[in-house]
Amino acid sequence: MVFLVLGCRSTPQPTPAPTAVTLVVRSEDQAAKLSHQQNWPAAARAWQLAADRASLLNDSAGEAVALHNLGQAERALGQNSAARQHLEQAAAQNEKLGHTAEWWRNQIALLQVEADAEAGSTERLKARFNKLTPLSSQLRDHALLGLFLNELGLWQKKQGELSVSDQTFAKAEEDFKAAKDSFGVATVLVNRAQLFGEQKNYPAAISSWKTALQNFQALANPPGIARALAGQGQALLAAHEDLAGAEDLLRRALHNYRTLQNPKQAKATMEYLLQCLVAEGKNTEAEALRHDLQPTKQ
């Protein structure tokens, strides 16, 4: 017993990390918290600081991670040119390091940036898909393959290749399930539901929205829940089926979007709710909502 106490006392204290390393870790932790809070202006500044501090230590891997997250924050701010630049830098560093999985995450983020960009980036997006699609056959990481196929399906849908897009989304869903990536599965269900709606296959759309809602609820993901509520309400409205149920879903989605402080989606949901009220013959309520949709005069 005495030996155990003496042994404990004689254990040397761990050597403190160098100040420069501590600063990098602190910067990364702060930046990650800001990204989680979706405080994108502050997150962008914090990730830039983390990248600079990693560079001072010649930590290429850490710098690439910070640059990737900086690009994601800039994408959320609509700064596509800066996002593209930093994601390309991260990809170049990961390629040199032989970090294939990280390189693929950079490429998928770049696909999303190009898809978000204004007209004129179509050729860049097409060229990137032409480069990555043959390489995707070598991917053994189901989660990464699911992410790539999801982006490919969105591109195909945008090009009007609806049946091909459906097949791609189905493959993406299979990969996400194999990876046990519940958020990925829910995301593909949303995209498939939208596709079914464009095909006017409303029973399939409604079913897909319901399953997506269940998945997002299991994940306790508020933005996903709001999206699935709105989507199911829109699908019921388009099918002219259970308008009372559609109204309830749209009202709940509208409340959630307001709570999430998402004015763009709240306005879009209000417009669908207005259509629903008109279809139900609730003219007084529709007129009041129409008044709310009018821009405020200065």
Q: What is the pLDDT of residues 213-225, one digit of tens each?
A: 999 999 999 999 9
Q: What pLDDT does 4 receive?
A: 36
Contact 231, 194 (CB under 8 A): yes
Report d(CA 293, CA 298) in Å as an integer.
15
Enumerate residues 6+ apart whose C-beta is below 8 A from 7: none
Q: With DSSP H G I counted as helix, E B as strand and the rest as coil, what are the percentages for the chain, rounded to 5?
A: 80, 0, 20
Q: Which of 6-10, 31-35, 56-60, 82-86 is the least confident region? A: 6-10
Q: What pLDDT does 102 receive?
A: 96
Q: What pLDDT does 135 receive?
A: 94
Q: What pLDDT does 239 receive?
A: 96
> Mean pLDDT across the stretch 243-260?
96
Report d(CA 238, CA 272) in Å as an integer.
10
> Mean pLDDT across the stretch 94-110?
96
Counts of helices then strands in the chain (DSSP H, E): 15, 0
Tell me the pLDDT of the chain averaged across its residues: 90
Q: What pLDDT does 16 receive?
A: 60
pLDDT over 60 at 119, yes or no: no
Q: What pLDDT does 12 receive?
A: 54
> Mean pLDDT across the stretch 80-92?
96
> Mean pLDDT across the stretch 197-219?
97
Domains identified in the chain and CATH numbers: 39-114 (1.25.40)
Q: What pLDDT does 122 receive?
A: 81
pLDDT over 50 at 5, yes or no: no
What is the value of pTM for the model shown? 0.84
Q: What pLDDT does 245 receive?
A: 97
